[in-house]
Amino acid sequence: MTLTDDDRRQLHERYASERDKRIRADGNEQYIEVTGLYSDYADDPYVAVEPRESLHDEVEFAFVGGGFAGLLTGAKLKQAGVDDVRIIEKGGDFGGTWYWNRYPGAQCDTAAFIYLPLLEETGHMPSEKYTHAPEIAEHCRRIGRHFDLYDNALFSTEVTGLEWDDDASRWIIRTNRGDEMRARHVAIGTGPLHRPKLPGIPGIDTFAGHSFHTSRWDYDYTGGDPSGAPLTGLADKRVGIIGTGATAVQCVPHLARSAGELFVFQRTPSSIDARNNHDIDPEWFATLEPGWQKRWMENFTILQTGGFADEDLVMDGWTDISQRIRDRLLSAPEPDLSPEGFLKAYHDSDDEKMEEIRRRVEAIVADPDTVDALKPWYRQLCKRPCFHDDYLQAFNEAGTTLVHTDGQGVERITERGVVVDGVEYELDCLIYASGFEVGTEFTRRWGFDVTGRDGVLLSDHWVDGMTSLHGIHTRGFPNMYIVSPSQGANLISNVPHNLTEAGATIATVVAHARSVAATEVEVTEDAERQWVELLEAGGRTFGGDPTCTPGYYNNEGHGIADSARRNSLGYPEGPVAYFDHIERWRSSGEFAGL
Ligand code: NDP
């Protein structure tokens, strides 16, 4: 598809006007926190919490969070011979994101071969290229069983505070179950998107029908189950869903099939490219050579970040985005490999891709007004790209209505339903696919602060933004490790790759400390400062582009404060270089900077 300069100019004008339409003065403040009146929206609907005695014991290593971060770090510690590991988890089992998100249709958006951790170690073959949530949750439990992480785990337990005891060189961990445990080492991996948020729509507290957030799906009400069985409880119901992000894209087809009537309230359409999921052939799987998962992850990361590899092992929408940019750059008679040249190649290929995505809407959806409303007008990476083969088709189902709010969002919620443009849509059930907190204070998302050496709070140490070595170690907080993509590789397209490397690094450090009988592991002031300076000089951050349509990628279009920018910095030379660096650092045995 070829676009003229004039086409591109008009396109960019449209992008700018669509963005301007959506900018709100209240930015990230528009959302409601799930506390007080709204705290029920964050309750765990999946388990009945059993009473238990408070614990006052000691472990060698405690991990806050039982999702991929905790499971990977726990597994790597066990492999390194550190057995006394306790994972403390708010949910009733392991899984993190995949414990909470059980909405119908949930599946991974990054190919399972590189997304599901520890496949070779556990001997699991993903059944599909993009596996569904029940299989992923089961895989989390498999990791827990395989590495004996259940033995010492605490579920339905929320950490309320971590405090360093300098005299004993131990962490004191307090929880909402009255525990006061001690640990020589602690790590925190609570996930970047785990606290549900609600849209701040006037009247939201007045709705008299049934409502829930997608990350706490109420199967008792809807019928059906996470594997996609029909939602029989909705057959005679008028159902509304607010939000059309990656979550809604996956559950709307199920709602459309089952609900008596479905109203999808849309503020900004997602970009929906083809999914092309398929089953995995066990005979082919058996041909993979040992070490394949690391190779696949590295191959994906190289291609997804614009590098070169002989073949594309994963071949999906993510690698396609970068390969298009790269091919365009290199096919020019005189390739311009400067940052400006790269940016131009990115914009040019993106214009064409988004034109294809809009044509895809035309090809699939029947009603012309709905076609217009479902077309996204922004660059593909301004929002989370979505891939689905049934979402757009759902709008052809009788009984499914797209309620387009032209970027303004829902006007009001009443006792009876939802109002848009003065029209009230009466509903029995209202589902909030309104996403998760991003960019709020970390203490609010974690649910606790950390008191380090000399009583210094982590929230004070990080008052101007995160500071760390490798995104893992923080000065003044000995024997504490952070597990997240930030200030490390910052690879967003395959988060578990970041966590795998962090887990391996922490396990190596802890095993080494133990082997030399070191009681404290702490980054030096110089090493922490130099790392942050290196990252700041490089300026590689995730999202934050104010020219993009508003969303959590860019602080709702309001630009990102310096402190928040610091939190999302990544290694200047990119994820591949970071993974090389961290592997060399931990293998050298020198642990420079600690
Ligand atoms: P998002 O934050 O992406 O989407 C929230 C939705 O709510 C948006 O469509 C937003 O509109 C809409 N919204 C908010 N306020 C209003 C309002 N007042 N009126 C109408 N609509 C409103 O949340 P998701 O849960 O969809 O996804 C969050 C992230 O989780 C994804 O970006 C992805 O990273 C991850 N995810 C990954 C999946 C996977 O890998 N398989 C699956 C699902 C989620 P607007 O766009 O205009 O702000």
Q: How far does residue 101's CA lie from ligand 1's centre (Å)?
A: 13
d(CA 353, CA 385): 11
Which regions of the chain carry the CATH code 3.50.50.60? 5-33+197-274+346-432, 58-195+438-522
Q: 132 CB under 6 A from ligand 1?
A: no
557/304 Cα distance (integer angstroms): 25
Q: Quick one: pLDDT band at residue 144, thresholds 50, 70, 90?
A: very high
Residue 540 has pLDDT above 80, yes or no: yes
Q: Is the dihedral of CA 72, 77, 79, 80 positive or negative?
A: positive
- pLDDT for 437 equals 94
User: Is the model's pLDDT at 544 over the cut of 80?
Assistant: no
Residue 463 has what pLDDT? 94
Cα 162 from Cα 447, distance rounded (Å): 11
Q: What is d(CA 83, CA 258) in angstroms, rounded to the nearest whole number?
A: 48
User: Smallest Cα–Cα separation from 482: which of 498, 494, 464?
Assistant: 498
Distance CA 55, CA 593 (A): 35
Domain 5-33+197-274+346-432 has CATH 3.30.1050.10: no
Give the chain's mean pLDDT: 95
Structure-block tokens of residue 120: 């070779």
Q: Of 21, 97, 247, 391, which is best to mutate to test ligand 1, by the most ligand atoms within 8 angstroms of its C-beta?
A: 247
Evaluate: CB of 317 within 6 angstroms of ligand 1: no
Q: Could you read off the pLDDT of 298-352 as tens digits, one per residue? A: 999 999 888 888 899 998 888 888 888 888 888 888 888 887 888 888 888 899 9
Cβ of 435 closer than 6 Å to ligand 1, yes or no, is: yes
| Cβ atoms < 10 Å from Cβ of 36 | 7
Nearest atom (ligand 1) to Cα of 248? 26
Instruction: Identify the pLDDT of residue 337.
Output: 81
Which token pair is 212?
Answer: 């829930």
What is the spatial distance between Cα 520 and Cα 372, in angstroms, rounded to a whole number?
A: 60
Whether 409 lines ligand 1, by a CB cut-off of 6 Å, is yes
d(CA 493, CA 547): 21
Residue ID of nearest Cα to ligand 1 atom 4: 245
What is the pLDDT at residue 208?
98
The fold of 58-195+438-522 is FAD/NAD(P)-binding domain (3.50.50)
Residue 307 has a pLDDT of: 85
Q: Is the pLDDT of residue 1 over 80?
A: no
Q: Which residue's entry shows tokens 């602690």?
A: 186
| pLDDT band at residue 354 using 50, 70 and 90 as cut-offs | very high
Burial (0-12, 13-18, 19+ Cβ within 10 Å), 1: exposed
Question: Is 78's C-beta closer than 6 angstroms to any atom of ligand 1?
Answer: no
Atom of ligand 1 nearest to the CA of 556: 48
**Which residues does 215 contact at the CB level (< 8 Å), separation at least 6?**
100, 101, 103, 196, 247, 436
The dihedral built from the CA positions of residue 238, 239, 242 and 244, taken in this order, carries a sign that is: negative
pLDDT of residue 361: 98
> Ligand 1 in contact with 199 (CB < 6 A)?
yes
376 in contact with ligand 1, CB cutoff 6 A: no
Distance (Å) from CA 268 to ligand 1 centroid? 10
Mean pLDDT calculated for residue range 202-206: 98
Q: Which residues 6+ apart lie within 8 Å of 159 measured at CB?
A: 64, 88, 173, 174, 175, 446, 447, 448
Ligand 1 center from residue 239 Cα (angstroms)? 18
Q: What is the mean pLDDT of residues 421-436?
A: 98
Asked if 156 and 49 touch (Cβ cutoff 8 Å), the reply is yes
Pocket test for ligand 1, best of 26, 32, 193 (most atoms within 8 A of CB): 193
Q: Is the dihedral of CA 531, 533, 539, 543 positive or negative?
A: positive
What digits encode the pLDDT tens for the residues 373-428?
999 999 999 999 999 999 999 999 999 999 999 999 999 999 999 999 999 999 99
Is the pLDDT assigned to residue 563 strictly greater than 90?
A: no
Q: Is 28 in the pocket of ligand 1 (CB under 6 A)?
A: no
| Beta-strand pair 210-213/423-426 | unpaired
Cβ atoms < 10 Å from Cβ of 114: 28
Task: Average the pLDDT over each of 51-55, 328-332, 443-447, 470-474 and give the range with the smallest value.
Answer: 328-332
Helix (H) or strand (E) holding 139: helix 133-146
